[in-house]
Amino acid sequence: MLFALAYILFAINTKFYFFVVLAFILTVLATLKITAFGIIIRDSSAERQLSRNEGLMYTFMNVAWVIGPLIAGSVAEKYGEGRVFFLSAIFLLLAFLTFKISKIKDVHIKKKADRNMLKNFRDFFKDRNRTLAYILGGGISLWWILIYLFMPLFIIRSGLHERWIGYFLFAAAVPLILFGYKFSKLAGKVGFKRIFKIGFLIPAVFSFACFFVSNIYAILALLILASIGLAMLEATTEAYFFDMMRGEQDTRFYGPYNTTMEISHFIGKSISATLLIFLPFKFIFLLFSLFMLGMFLVSFKVRNIVEVKRDGRKNK
């Protein structure tokens, strides 16, 4: 509901400082949404179905990421950016009503997390398995820096029309929609370790191949195929983290776990920007191949949790 109100204010706002304040408020709301939504999925899932439900959630999210920009682009072109925010507010209100009608409840509402944030962070990294899950979760975010930040720049520098950015980003999301749910179900049957290994190896190999290819269309095709590996990872990395948690650990450690996205963004952007100061752009592909290869090696150290071997009860 607060998201919808903020978007309406975005639509009617004309002052820069008001825009900055609203953007800050939306960042806080987004943080709360991400943390709360993950806990709800975890609490509402049986132990044997957590990875499957995570896959279903991420599939719908990726569909929205594909359809949303297409609709927003058409509306903005015909009616202006203000109408885009109004339309977004309507969809958010519909989502709010759907949530209320579905009567989704927090089945563990009495659980209380330790509010000492510094202690939570410190204790989080005392456990080897949580640390490995944190690293692997960050690996996903690292890869999307290449796709959503550096590839649009590469496309423009290569002389292609700007519309190719849209074509590429659309195509890169298609494997996530087609295969994300299937791979998340498969992870529950064969175990997370095997899925992680293959999932990180695929983008490592394809990105490495891009380093030796000069044809822009071939590079785009290779990176689109690399998204098959990301379809194996996007939902399963979070499901793996939750599958390790017991008791009230999820509410205590899910917040620290979510910081992996921002930390990996900072590391990836900083290293990549520094690299481009000294080397040609094609070395970005080699860098991200090394990033994914590192994640591939980390995958050998994780626990091989197989959800189908669990008792099938609700997570507690």
Domain boundaries, the chain: 2-104+119-307
Quick count: other Cβ atoms within 10 Å of Cβ 165?
17
Alpha-carbon span 129 to 11, nearest angstrom: 45
2-104+119-307: CATH number:
1.20.1250.20
Among residues 5, 38, 6, the alpha carbon closest in space to that of 20 is found at 6
47-51, 76-80, 173-177, 204-208: which range is least confident on average? 76-80
Q: For residue 189, what are its two tokens?
A: 């049957």
Alpha-carbon gap, residue 78 to 37, rounded angstroms:
34
Q: Say how far apart CA 214 and CA 216 lie, in whole Å.
A: 6
pLDDT at 316: 44
Residue 241 and residue 257 in contact, taking contact as beta carbons nearer than 8 Å: yes
Radius of gyration of the chain (CA): 20
Taking CA atoms, 289 is separated from 63, 148, 261, 283, 286, in Å, by 27, 16, 18, 10, 5
The alpha carbon of 174 is separated from its chain's Cα centroid by a whole number of angstroms, namely: 15
Record the pTM.
0.83
Give per-residue pLDDT as tens, 80-103.
767 777 877 888 788 778 777 776
In this predicted model, what pLDDT tens digit does every residue of 200-229 receive, in sequence order? 999 999 999 999 999 999 999 999 999 999
Tokens representing 175? 């494997």
Q: What are the two backbone dihedrals, phi and then psi, of residue 12, each rounded to the nearest 5 degrees? A: -100, -5
**Rounded Cα–Cα distance for residues 255 and 263 (Å):** 13
Give percent above pLDDT 90 in the chain.
Answer: 35
With a cut of 70, say whether residue 113 has pLDDT above it: no
| Rounded Cα–Cα distance for residues 148 and 258 (Å) | 20
